Amino acid sequence: MAQMRMRNAKGGNSSEIEKKIKRKCPETELHLAWLQTAPGLLLVTLLACGTSLWLYLSTADADITETLVGRGELVSPQPRVFAVPCSEDYDQHKRFPGCTPQKCGRAVTDGLVSREEAQALRRLAERGLALAGSEGGASILDLHSGALSMGKQFVNIYRYFGDQIGEVFTQEDFRLYRDVRRRIQDTIAQTFGLDVSLLFLTKPTFFSRINSTEAKTQHDEYWHPHIDKVTYGSFDYTSLLYLTDYGTDFTGGRFIFMDKDGNRTVEPRAGRLSFFSSGSENLHRVERVAWGTRFAITVSFTCDPAHAIADPSLAAV
Ligand SMILES: O=C(O)CCC(=O)C(=O)O
Ligand SMILES: [Fe+2]
């Protein structure tokens, strides 16, 4: 009973207040009535849409993605070059005149490695990785050090498989790797205006195989943003040679430059080479692979002779 009374009293109070408001501002009612007419509804709809669009654009800005090179394009013979100002990272390392990046940027070419060569390199990677592979979604094979993902860790193929490795890889495989490495080195030197003899292959250099299997260890988490010069130390110029096609062999797995004003992507394609200066001007990540298998090789170069490595070879066996 008491509650009923209270509700009645409250109801009485609120209608009193409404009456007072209407008495003080009769135009409020008029405005509300006008909004229910056809032009009024149109105006309300336009205002609502405008506000949503503004909200969308102002929050989506940071995620705007520009495709630098799409899967369907063929960039050949000259690389497509995108200049970016060099970061100060290189000041914290010893400088090597004629090599240390003074011009920074990224470039992509489809004219350096043929689809057939890419396929031969992919077969090489498949054969090597078939010997073991990670339990999670990312496996690597480093022909220089011999590191191969196995379960949750790595083994050294040269030690673990001994002479048998000569039955998995041929001299021709290593010749092809060497030949492609030389062409990449020449192209990097030409594009960045370097003396090619001052540029050296550095480690790690590895084949990667990525699929959508759930990560089991940190080694499987390939998608984190990173700076190669920070992650790998010796890198001055990074190159990535893709061995499979985005959209056909796999989905997701695009390469993403994470610039302050938005993302810029490179869509992998078999035989496509992407290369860039390794400092923080080229912060990047790999989009998670959603479906299929992505193969690539990371081949990188240093200006510091102390970090130079020899080409991988079967002589290591
Ligand atoms: O495979 C890629 O596209 C990128 C790999 C990468 O960022 C790296 O090896 O440092
Ligand atoms: Fe990287």
> Which of 68, 69, 207, 240 is the pocket-test mutation for ligand 1 (most atoms within 8 Å of CB)?
240
ipTM value for the complex: 0.99
* Ligand 1 atom 3 nearest Cα: 255
CB distance 242 to 271 below 8 Å:
yes
Which positions are catalytic? 294
Range of the domain at 142: 66-316
CA-266 nearest atom, ligand 1? 3
pLDDT value at position 59? 40
Please write the tens of the pLDDT for every residue from 289-316: 999 999 999 999 999 999 999 999 886 5
Q: How far apart are CA 297 and CA 193, in angstroms?
A: 24
Amino acid at 64: I
Same domain, residue pair 11 and 71? no
Strand order across the 262-266 sheet: 65-69, 262-266, 255-259, 284-286
Structure tokens at 277: 């200066």
| 267, 284, 285, best to mutate for ligand 1 pocket (most atoms within 8 Å of CB) | 284
Residue type, position 232, single letter: Y
Q: What is the CATH number of the domain that holds 205?
A: 2.60.120.620
Assess whether 78 and 161 both reside in one domain: yes
Same domain membership, residue 106 and residue 32? no
Name the domain count of the chain. Answer: 2
Longest dimension (CA), the chain: 99
Nearest ligand (C-alpha, residue 279) = 2
Which tens digit of pLDDT belongs to each residue from 202-259?
999 999 999 999 999 999 999 999 999 999 999 999 999 999 999 999 999 999 999 9
Confidence at residue 184, expressed as pLDDT on a 0 to 100 scale: 98
Taken in order 63, 65, 71, 74, the sign of the CA dihedral is negative
Helix (H, G, I), strand (E, B) or coil at 232: helix
Q: Alpha helices, DSSP H only, in the chain?
A: 2-24, 26-35, 38-60, 115-129, 157-160, 165-168, 171-192, 228-232
Stated as kind and residue range, the H or E segment containing 97 is none
Choose one of 61, 83, 102: the last residue of a domain.
61
Q: Which of 32, 61, 90 is the last residue of a domain?
A: 61
Q: Do residues 54 and 86 share a domain?
A: no
* 108 and 142 co-located in one domain: yes
DSSP string, 155-218: EEHHHHSGGGHHHHS-HHHHHHHHHHHHHHHHHHHHHHT--GGG-EEEEEEEEEEE-SSPP-SG
Token pair 């060569």 is at which residue?
117
Q: Name the residue with the closest Cα to ligand 1, atom 4.
A: 286
- pLDDT for the residue numbered 67: 97
Give residues (CB < 6 A) around ligand 1. Answer: 208, 228, 240, 255, 284, 286, 296, 298
Q: Which comes out higher in pLDDT, residue 38 or 3?
A: 38
Two tokens, residue 27: 């135009």
3-class SS of residue 12: helix
User: Using an 8 Å Cβ cutoff, are 121 and 176 in contact?
Assistant: yes
pLDDT score recorded for residue 314:
80
What are the pLDDT digits (tens) for 17-61?
344 334 433 443 334 454 456 666 666 667 765 655 554 444 444
Provide the pLDDT for residue 317: 47
Taking only the tens place, the pLDDT of each residue in 108-150 is 999 999 999 999 999 999 999 999 999 999 999 999 999 999 9
How confident is the model over 74-110, as pLDDT tens digits?
Answer: 999 999 999 999 999 998 899 999 999 999 999 999 9
User: What per-residue confidence (pLDDT) applies to 245?
Assistant: 98
Residue where a domain stops, chosen among 33, 61, 89: 61
pLDDT of residue 92: 87
Q: Rounded to the nearest 5°, which phi and psi values hold at 276?
A: -160, 160
> What pLDDT score was predicted for residue 43?
65
